[in-house]
Amino acid sequence: MSPANEGLSAEQQADVFLSQFKPCIVEMIQRYDASNRAVRFDDIEADAASRGDSVARELMLLMLKRQGKATPTEIEQARSSAGPSSERSNMTRIYGKPRKLKTVRGAIEYKRDYLYFPDAHKGIFPPR
């Protein structure tokens, strides 16, 4: 969803999101029209599941993009989890580091904050 949609209500944002998938749904309805007698239920199920997974991944990505930057509390939690040497270490904050998240619906790639503690030789993507 573009930054221009940020001022919209949740319902309006949902309408914009769903409109992006309308062509996909129309295509599936046309593909499995009643005149197509060679269709098997397994084909419909696999196609519907694949399209549903695609919608789920896009919805998760949309929600991830709406999350803010790491809070001071999250930074302190990250510092603690990096180990004792990180508690007195400098921290480098890398904005927008590409990250691939594995989900049950497939991988999602997006950019998020990354905290690196050079003295501990450890980097962390803050929780959330």
Q: Phi and psi of 65, rounded to 5°?
A: -65, -25
28 pLDDT above the threshold of 90: yes
- In angstroms, rounded to a whole number, what is the distance separating the alpha carbons of residues 55 and 53? 5
Percent helix, strand, coil in the chain, to 5, is 55, 20, 25
What pLDDT sits at residue 4? 61
What pLDDT sits at residue 114? 86
- In angstroms, rounded to a whole number, what is the distance separating the alpha carbons of residues 115 and 92? 6
- In angstroms, rounded to a whole number, what is the distance separating the alpha carbons of residues 88 and 51? 48
pTM: 0.72
Q: Average pLDDT for residues 81-106, to the nearest whole number?
A: 82
CB 97 within 8 A of CB 113: yes
- In angstroms, rounded to a whole number, what is the distance separating the alpha carbons of residues 93 and 115? 5
- pLDDT, tens only, 43-90: 999 999 999 999 999 999 988 888 777 888 888 887 787 777 666 678
127 pLDDT above the threshold of 70: no
Give exposure, 48-82, as e/b (b: 16+ Cβ within 10 Å): eeeeeeebebbebeeeeeeeeebeeebbeebbeeb
What pLDDT sits at residue 3? 55
Q: What percent of the chain has pLDDT over 90?
A: 43
19 pLDDT above the threshold of 80: yes
pLDDT band, very low/low/confident/very high, at 103 (cuts 50, 70, 90): very high
